[in-house]
Structure 1
Amino acid sequence: MQPNIVDVLEDLAEKGIKKVSVACPSFTADCLETLEEIAVENHEDFEKNGGEYVKLIPSLNDNDDWVQNFAEYLTEKEDEFIKK
């Protein structure tokens, strides 16, 4: 996927942007790899280039309503999933 987040964060820091919020819309669930890469490694790189803070916006699985709706969807579609 493009653009590469490392390049974008570097460009933003070089432009004087100090605080950035990052969303990963292609991930519906957080995983340790995402948290480590985005929240830790990219935050460190952003700081090295003059930025101050990178906030990772939680994935959809962090929202109880989303989890409940997804569970209901899976229950409704259970027969279709089993047949395939």
Structure 2
Amino acid sequence: MYIHNQTLIMLTQKVSWWGNSLGLRLPQTLVQQVEWTEGTIVSITIEDNRLVLSPVKPKYRLEQLLENITPDMQHDEMEWGEAVGEETW
């Protein structure tokens, strides 16, 4: 069963040998739904005797993020008005 654009998607796939490991092919319609591409890193866990695949979010270091800043992304300081509570500038 496959219901497009909803959360219920049930497919049947055959597990096959790939070298010394068992493998499972993920249909294109399924990976498009979760926005995965080739090379997506996933964690594999077992919950209630079920395999659960979850994408691993990349971890960035501050230096990596700052390397991508261009002059277009830098803005002048904005005036927000006088302090109204206990904040200080």
For normalisation by structure 1, the TM-score amounts to: 0.27
More relative contact order in 1 or in 2 (CA 8 Å, sep 6+)? Answer: 1
For normalisation by structure 2, the TM-score amounts to: 0.26
Largest Rg, 1 or 2: 2
